[in-house]
Amino acid sequence: MRSVPPQPLVDLGLLARRLLHAAGDALLPGWALAWQRSMGIASTQVMAAMADLGVADALAHKKSTAAQMAPRVGADADSLHRLLRAAAVHGLVRLDRRGRFGLTRTGRALRSDAPATLAPWARYLGLKSTRDAWGGLADSVRTGAPAFSRVHGSTVWDWFAEHPEEERLFATAMRSLTEFDGPSLLSSDLWPEQGTVCDVAGGAGTLLAAVLAARPGLRGTLVEAPGVLMQAEANLRSKGLADRVELVEGDLLGTIEARADVYVLKNILHDWDDETCARILASVAATMPARSRLLLVEQLQEPNRPHPFASITDLQMLTQCEGGRERSAAELRGLLAAAGLTPGRIDRTGASALVEGVAG
Ligand X SMILES: C[S@@+](CC[C@H](N)C(=O)[O-])C[C@H]1O[C@@H](n2cnc3c(N)ncnc32)[C@H](O)[C@@H]1O
For residue 337, the one-letter residue type is A
Number of neighbouring beta carbons within 10 Å of residue 350: 21
Furthest-apart CA pair in the chain: how many Å? Answer: 68
Q: Which of 21, 90, 270, 307 is flagged as catalytic?
A: 270
Distance CA 231, CA 68 (A): 36
Site stretch for ligand X (CB under 6 A), options 99-107, 261-269, 328-336, 348-356: 261-269
198 near ligand X, judged by CB under 6 A: no
Using rule CB under 6 A, residue 166 touches ligand X = no
Is 270 labeled as catalytic in the residue annotation? yes
Total length of the chain: 360
The candidate with the shortest Cα–Cα distance to 196, out of 250, 246, 267, is 246
Q: Does 324 bind ligand X (CB under 6 A)?
A: no
| 8 A C-beta contact, residue 197 and residue 211 | yes
Instruction: Report, in Å, the least distance between residue 151 CB and ligand X.
Output: 19
| CA-wise closest residue to 74 among 55, 93, 57, 61 | 55
Instruction: Examine residue 325 and tell whether it contacts ligand X (CB under 6 A).
Output: no
Which of residues 81, 266, 293, 327 is near ligand X by CB under 6 A?
266
Q: Which stretch binds ligand X (CB under 6 A): 201-209, 213-221, 300-308, 309-317?
A: 201-209
One character per residue 269-298, x = contact with ligand X (rule: CB under 6 A): --x---------------------------
User: Is the Cβ of residue 95 or residue 280 nearer to ligand X in the bound state?
Assistant: 280
Instruction: Let me know: does 309 contact 150? Beta carbons within 8 Å.
Output: no
| Binding residues for ligand X restricted to 221-250, rule: CB under 6 A | 224-225, 228, 250
Instruction: Rule CB under 6 A: choose which of 49, 110, 174, 232 binds ligand X.
Output: 174
Look up residue 102 and give its amino acid: G
CA–CA separation, 237 vs 254, rounded Å?
A: 28
Question: Based on the number of CB atoms within 10 Å of its own CB, is 13 exposed (0-12), middle (13-18) or buried (19 or more)?
Answer: exposed
* Closest to ligand X by CB, 66 or 295: 295
75, 201, 258, 295: which one contacts ligand X (CB under 6 A)? Answer: 201
**Contact residue for ligand X among 54, 146, 203, 220 (CB under 6 A):** 203
Answer whether 160's CB lies under 8 Å from 203's CB.
Answer: no
Judged by the rule CB under 6 A, the positions of this chain that interact with ligand X are 157, 171, 174, 178, 201-203, 224-225, 228, 250-253, 266-268, 271
Which positions are annotated as active-site residues? 270
